[in-house]
Amino acid sequence: MAKSKKVEARERARAAKARVDARRAARDEQISEAQTAYYIAVADRDVALESVATAEQDMALSVSKLKDTLGVRPEEIAELCEITQAEVRALSKRGRQSTPSGTETAAEPAGEAPAESDVA
């Protein structure tokens, strides 16, 4: 028995729609994967930026200690640390700005524990 034109047309339409839906689903999955990769990269960047900020703070506190606590001249600090005098000034200023908070001192940069000899 032959199918009616209407039934055959409906079957063809359903098959075409299924193909389109399958392509859309595949594309949606690719979009979701790209979004996930993006947000992972954002989180990785945030961690890296935080690490850089911590390292720069430690650099500033160390330069501040050299200059303010140990009395090393800025020219010597520049030579010892292989940085410019402008960098010495900027790091020294940043180091001085962070020490009044009481959470960090030039003697103990962030992330460093006091030496055993410093512990009573």
Model pLDDT for residues 51-65, shown as the tens digit of each residue: 999 999 999 999 999
Residue 93: partners with Cβ closer than 8 Å, 6 or more residues away: none
Neighbours of 64 (CB within 10 A): 25
- Give the model's pLDDT for residue 60: 96
- Give the model's pLDDT for residue 100: 52
Backbone dihedral angles phi then psi of residue 106, each to the nearest 5 degrees = -65, -25
- Give the model's pLDDT for residue 120: 37
Positions in the chain whose pLDDT score sits under 50: 101-120
The residue with tokens 């032959």 is 2
Enter the tokens of residue 21: 């839906």
- Give the model's pLDDT for residue 105: 45
Enter the tokens of residue 28: 């949606």
Alpha-helical segments (H) within 2-120: 5-64, 74-81, 85-98
HSE-up of residue 82 (Cα within 13 Å, Cβ side): 0
How many angstroms separate the CA atoms of 77 and 100, rounded? 22
